[in-house]
């Protein structure tokens, strides 16, 4: 039976460390969160991020805008937040309602305040191996792997899914740690066979329980980034947990795996944005 990689416990450790560091600052980093429209899932994510902020001592400022807001008005709010010295991190919850351009929004946020790590400059810096704000989900996966002392150097890692926010940066972060990385996607041939070469398999596809036992080498570490709601209402990952747990060495559950770490790393990025700004203003 696989060891369960406990994301809730690891996130609690990360947040406790952040809470202590922020308490020592004697000031509260400020995170501006912009929610456009009334998508219930997005609203629920923002609520959870607000709760995490309160736990660690970050001040969350919520900006709730109507779904029919114009691109110009949204851009104007981002410009205002970029210019506001009291705001250290900016997050615009995705997806945006139809008619709004996500690429434009991502590129408009100041890279120094881009706590999601989505800005082209931050992604470019990541590609070049320079210090950068790292996207929270893949950074959270790395934190979880480190928490459980999973050897990355020389390991074969397979990432399934090539999104800009998970798959691509995940591959880069694993590469930085000297894993041999294969990045797979919907056009990949013989996907199960490639996945079976993985010592570390990261599933970030967005298809409920697609990764079954035929994709997993006995003894592999399986990281499930997916969050899918089944017809019966149950939350499941991209991995068929019951089928894979008997043969994996270690596996993340859903919920309670990668999700809580994504939010903990958002808090960590917000503190980093605060500290970098402070260092820049002292220099
Ligand atoms: N929507 C789903 N995940 C995310 C995330 O990590 N950041 C933002 N801004 N929106 C999201």
Per-residue model confidence as pLDDT tens digits over 136-184? 999 999 999 999 999 999 999 999 999 999 999 999 999 999 999 999 9
Mutate to test the pocket of ligand 1, among 116, 117, 227, 268 (most ligand atoms within 8 A of CB): 116
pLDDT band at 282 (very low <50, low <70, confident <90, very high): low
Query: Rounded to the nearest whole angstrom, what is the distance from the C-alpha of residue 262 to the centroid of ligand 1?
Result: 9
Chain centroid offset of residue 211 CA: 20
Ligand 1 centroid–CA 44 distance in Å is 12
Strands 180-184 and 89-92, by their bridges, are unpaired
CA–centroid distance, 246 to ligand 1, in Å, is 32
The reported pTM is: 0.96
Residues 95-106, mean pLDDT to the nearest whole number: 98
**What is the residue-wise DSSP string for 85-143?**
TT--EEEE-SSPPTTS-HHHHHHHS-GGGBTT--SHHHHHHHHHT---PPPHHHHHHHH
| Closest residue by CA, ligand 1 atom 1 | 94
Active-site residue set: 49, 93, 116
Ligand 1 atom closest to residue 137's alpha carbon, by position in its atom list: 6
Nearest atom within ligand 1 for CA of residue 95: 1
User: Of all atoms in ligand 1, which is nearest to the CA of residue 165?
Assistant: 6
Say if residue 283's pLDDT is above 70.
Answer: no
Cα–Cα distance for residue pair 274/148, rounded to 1 Å:
29
Long-range contacts of residues 194-198, Cβ cutoff 8 Å, at least 24 apart: 194/158, 195/158, 195/160, 197/156, 197/158, 198/156, 198/157, 198/158
Instruction: Collect all residues with Cβ–Cβ distance below 8 Å to 237 and sequence separation of at least 6.
Output: 203, 208, 209, 224, 225, 226, 227, 228, 252, 253, 254, 257
Strand 235-236 versus strand 228-229 pairing type: antiparallel
Q: Which of 39, 12, 76, 14 is nearest to 270 (CA)?
A: 14
C-alpha 210/C-alpha 18 separation (Å) is: 35
Alpha-carbon Rg for the chain in angstroms: 19
Going by alpha carbons, the residue nearest to atom 8 of ligand 1 is: 93
Q: Average model confidence (pLDDT) for the chain?
A: 97
pLDDT confidence of residue 236: 97
Q: Which two tokens stand for residue 242?
A: 């019951």
Q: What is the mean predicted confidence (pLDDT) over 43-56? A: 97
- Please tell me the distance between residue 94's alpha carbon and the centre of ligand 1 in angstroms: 5
Other C-beta atoms closer than 10 Å to the C-beta of 251 total: 25
Instruction: Round to whole Å and give the CA distance between 281 and 151.
Output: 38
Ligand 1 site: residues with CB under 6 angstroms?
A: 91-94, 116, 136
Under DSSP, the state recorded for 2 is P
Phi-psi region of 154 (alpha: psi -120 to 50; beta: other; left: phi over 0): left
Atom of ligand 1 nearest to the CA of 42: 1
Neighbours of 164 (CB within 10 A): 13
């Amino acid at each position: 039976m696989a060891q369960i990689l406990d994301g809730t416990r690891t996130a609690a450790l990360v947040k406790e460390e952040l809470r202590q560091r922020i308490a020592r600052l004697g000031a509260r980093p400020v995170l501006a969160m912009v929610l456009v429209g009334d998508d219930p899932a997005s609203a629920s994510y923002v609520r959870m991020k607000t709760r995490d902020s309160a736990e660690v001592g970050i001040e969350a400022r919520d900006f709730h805008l109507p779904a029919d807001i114009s691109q110009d008005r949204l851009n104007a709010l981002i410009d205002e937040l970029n210019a506001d010295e009291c705001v250290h991190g900016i997050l615009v919850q995705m997806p945006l309602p139809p008619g709004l351009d996500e690429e434009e929004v991502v590129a408009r946020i100041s890279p120094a305040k881009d706590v999601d790590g989505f800005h082209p400059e931050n992604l470019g810096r990541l590609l070049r191996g320079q210090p950068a704000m790292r996207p929270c989900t893949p950074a959270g996966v790395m934190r979880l792997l480190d928490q459980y002392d999973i050897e990355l150097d020389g390991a074969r890692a397979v990432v399934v899914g090539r999104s800009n926010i998970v798959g691509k940066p995940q591959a880069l972060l694993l590469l930085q740690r000297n894993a041999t990385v294969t990045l797979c996607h919907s056009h990949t041939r013989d996907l199960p066979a490639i996945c079976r070469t993985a010592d570390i398999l990261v599933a970030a596809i967005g298809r409920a329980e697609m990764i079954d036992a035929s994709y997993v080498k006995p003894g592999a570490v399986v990281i499930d980034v997916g969050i899918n709601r089944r017809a019966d209402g149950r939350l499941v990952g991209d991995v068929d947990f019951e089928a894979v747990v008997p043969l994996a060495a270690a596996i993340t559950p859903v919920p309670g795996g990668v999700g809580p770490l994504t939010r903990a790393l958002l808090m960590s990025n917000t503190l980093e944005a605060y500290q970098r700004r402070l260092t820049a203003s002292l220099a």
